[in-house]
Chains A and B, each alone.
Chain A
Amino acid sequence: QKEVEQDPGPLSVPEGAIVSLNCTYSNSAFQYFMWYRQYSRKGPELLMYTYSSGNKEDGRFTAQVDKSSKYISLFIRDSQPSDSATYLCAMIRGEADSWGKLQFGAGTQVVVTP
Chain B
Amino acid sequence: DTGVSQDPRHKITKRGQNVTFRCDPISEHNRLYWYRQTLGQGPEFLTYFQNEAQLEKSRLLSDRFSAERPKGSFSTLEIQRTEQGDSAMYLCASSLRLGTTNEQFFGPGTRLTVL
Closest to B3 in A: A43
Closest to A101 in B: B45
Are the C-beta atoms of B41 and A46 separated by less than 8 Å?
no
Are the C-beta atoms of B35 and A102 separated by less than 8 Å?
yes
Contacting residues, chain A, for B4 (C-beta < 8 A)? 43
Are the C-beta atoms of A102 and B104 separated by less than 8 Å?
yes
| A: number of interface residues (CB 8 Å) | 28
In the complex where A8-B40, A104-B42 touch, is A42 in contact with B104 (Cβ < 8 A)?
Answer: no
B21 contacts chain A at the CB level, 8 A cutoff: no
Contacting residues, chain A, for B48 (C-beta < 8 A)? 100-101
How far is A88 from B4 in the complex, measured between Cα atoms in Å?
A: 19
In the complex where A42-B108, A45-B106, A46-B103 touch, is A103 in contact with B56 (Cβ < 8 A)?
Answer: no
B72 contacts chain A at the CB level, 8 A cutoff: no
B109 contacts chain A at the CB level, 8 A cutoff: yes
How far is A32 from B21 in the complex, measured between Cα atoms in Å?
A: 29
Contacting residues, chain A, for B41 (C-beta < 8 A)? 106-107
How far is A43 from B101 in the complex, measured between Cα atoms in Å?
A: 21
- Chain B 81-115 interface 0/1 with A at a Cβ cutoff of 8 Å (1 = within): 00000000101010001001111111111010000
Are the C-beta atoms of B108 and A99 separated by less than 8 Å?
no
How far is A44 from B89 in the complex, measured between Cα atoms in Å?
A: 12
- The A86-109 residues at the B interface (CB cut-off 8 A) are 88, 90, 92, 94, 97, 99-107
Known: A36-B106, A43-B91, A102-B33; 5 extra A-B contacts, CB below 8 A, are: A4-B42, A90-B42, A104-B42, A104-B43, A105-B42
